[in-house]
Structure 1
């Protein structure tokens, strides 16, 4: 696999990465102070921004891999009944690989049985993904009552462009790459969505 770290926080653990803001600061998540009613405008903006970034980074003919991982105490497993497999059911005939990893978050792995369980779907074209419900499940990660969500971490890897897309929650997403050149078009075309907090570093990559 290309030289990209598949672990959070993607932006800070990869030399070449961009961080984008999804949920707008000037729109509240809630319609009321009791936090009982969601402001759908907030989630619609987050979805629109995520789709714009995704479509700028991935073309229909690009070859991709989908990686999904969960933390395990040695007993917890990725099961075929997990929502991940419902989301990606159209790809059920593709190459599927289950693996275990102890080379990420090593400071948290206190016992030998602790590991990260990962499933990878390979040989997929972007055109085969129904991306909207996938993005929605990631955006709603902290709001389970809005609909089904993913319990683990999802990474979509563009094998042709050598970059990786990771939407961590409603606040934002990271795109990392093997080189800064793989990110240059995305940096230019989606510049208005780059997170202000880290923008100085991102600007320095392309000076």
Structure 2
């Protein structure tokens, strides 16, 4: 069993690292990252940048051990020979790139038989990653911007996960609209529920409130 899958088996009951993590466990919070706003308004992504970075810094401490996972869903085998610029661009310590791991994962999107998920993973710490710029790039993915991660491979899709091995928390900013944060121990993210309750997506707010009720410790 590969390192990421082994970790998930040990701490998250072997859940699939794929969207949408929120619906895979009751130890999860789904945050609204950007409220509806016209894309032609100045600074329309300002709120998305602020919320995604704020939540990230709340989850990851300076000394926490992180696995930065990038899944690329594609039928392009070229990616194995030349990994995405996610790591070369956003990882500060170039010596860490020699530790970059690659594997393939069975298609995570059952309706696309030809797709294969190419998984890249790197063990690092917060200070090793230009995480603010990376989170902004994820928010920009649906818009014409030079930071678009798959601008040279637009036919493919991707997901980026940050795994906090020290606290057993997974952070998934899926785009400018939302972010899923799950934990192996619900109490480790209760502070997010309490401090940022106004950011919880309205559609899922009742479910989150029920899961984090003091009467529900499962």
Please give the range of the TM-score, normalised by the shorter of the 2 chains: 0.7 to 0.9
Partner of 2:119: 118
CA distance in 2, matches of 1:74, 1:48: 34
Secondary structure at the counterpart of residue 161 of structure 2: strand
Equivalent residues, number: 193
Partner of 2:4: none
Residue 177 (structure 2) pairs with residue 162 (structure 1): no
Partner of 2:145: 146
The one-character-per-residue Cα deviations of 1:136-195 (angstroms, maximum 9, x if unpaired) are 11000101x222222321001100111111111111111122232222121112112111
Question: In the alignment, which of 52, 55, 66 is matched to residue 53 of structure 1?
Answer: 55
Q: CA deviation at 1:66?
A: 0.2
Secondary structure at the counterpart of residue 61 of structure 1: coil
TM-score (norm 2): 0.80
- Within 5 Å, give how 1:16-165 maps onto structure 2: 16-25=27-36, 27-31=37-41, 39-40=42-43, 42-73=44-75, 75-80=77-82, 82-94=84-96, 95-102=99-106, 104-105=108-109, 107-108=110-111, 110=113, 114-122=115-123, 124-143=124-143, 145-151=144-150, 152-165=158-171
CA distance in 2, matches of 1:87, 1:177: 28
CA distance in 2, matches of 1:74, 1:46: 31
Q: CA deviation at 1:103?
A: 6.6
CA distance in 2, matches of 1:81, 1:97: 10
Name whichever of 81-90 and 44-53 sits farther off.
Answer: 81-90
Secondary structure at the counterpart of residue 86 of structure 1: helix
Secondary structure at the counterpart of residue 46 of structure 1: helix
CA distance in 2, matches of 1:181, 1:24: 27
Residue 12 (structure 2) pairs with residue 13 (structure 1): no
CA distance in 1, matches of 2:101, 2:131: 21
C-alpha contact 1:22 1:49 (8 A) present in aligned 2? yes
CA distance in 2, matches of 1:199, 1:91: 39
CA distance in 2, matches of 1:5, 1:121: 18
Question: In the alignment, which of 189, 196, 200 is matched to residue 202 of structure 2?
Answer: 196
TM-score (norm 1): 0.84
C-alpha contact 1:78 1:118 (8 A) present in aligned 2? no
CA distance in 2, matches of 1:74, 1:87: 21
Superposition CA RMSD, Å: 2.0
CA distance in 2, matches of 1:92, 1:78: 19
